Structure 1
């Protein structure tokens, strides 16, 4: 029986830049940053396992995955193009105060696509990470 979700993947264009963005701008904490050996890819090359999570939720980790991880070269390029043009939404991050968090993140250089606005489910703003993925920042009712 499945008991919970422990990891979710966010495809990024540059893992070092993504690490800086999620840690320095969003305030997440690094959970894992290790290089896996060649035996894990089968194509003779290893990969970097980089995970982060909000300090208040260490049991759910976001894998900041290189677009090549687990994909053919053709699919890697297609995925990179989709990420870069902002075609992929990464999900919803919850906050206690959307207006306050929006102001703090804006000050840290986070780019918002939508300012905080009243919605039927709460207050929502939308931002992009440094790769192009967009996320909802939501204060629920």
Structure 2
């Protein structure tokens, strides 16, 4: 039996603003754009992982008012779980994302536990880390 991750959700304040960051700055490809019940979900993916998609949606999309309000509060505080991407060229990826105007939280550094990484905030305040495996 095989099991694999298919979707990962990132809650954002504005889907179009987030799309510009994840598609244009990070280089992910937009795969699907679905409107339902007055809300919208956009999926993105990487050519390196054909079967995995990131879903961007606002806090109230598909949720009760109370749950959406609670999620919005966590998003506003900047305490939702971070997303970590990997790349084969961290320095080039860092420069591309920085050039987009994204807020830099950490420039590329070698971490004591192995990878070289950097960190940004997406337009909604979510932390996005990008890492490159340590060279052997």
Tell me whether the two structures share a fold, i.e. TM-score over 0.5. Answer: yes
| 1:111 alignment partner in structure 2 | 103
Tell me, yes or no, if structure 1 residue 91 matches structure 2 residue 83. Answer: yes
Which of 59, 66, 85 lines up with 1:67 in the alignment?
59
Q: CA deviation at 1:81?
A: 2.1
CA distance in 2, matches of 1:69, 1:85: 19
Tell me, yes or no, if structure 1 residue 35 matches structure 2 residue 35. Answer: yes
5+ residue gaps, structure 1, are 37-44
CA distance in 1, matches of 2:82, 2:45: 14
Correspondences of 1:3-22 after superposition (within 5 Å)? 3-22=3-22
Q: Over aligned residues, Cα RMSD in angstroms?
A: 1.7
Q: Does structure 2 conserve the Cα–Cα contact (< 8 Å) formed by 1:95 and 1:138?
A: yes
| 1:39 alignment partner in structure 2 | none
Correspondences of 1:120-139 after superposition (within 5 Å)? 120-139=113-132
| TM-score w.r.t. length of structure 2 | 0.87
Q: CA deviation at 1:47?
A: 3.4
CA distance in 1, matches of 2:81, 2:93: 19
Q: Does structure 1 conserve the Cα–Cα contact (< 8 Å) formed by 2:25 and 2:96?
A: no
Q: CA deviation at 1:46?
A: 4.9
CA distance in 1, matches of 2:20, 2:50: 18
Q: Does structure 2 conserve the Cα–Cα contact (< 8 Å) formed by 1:12 and 1:65?
A: yes
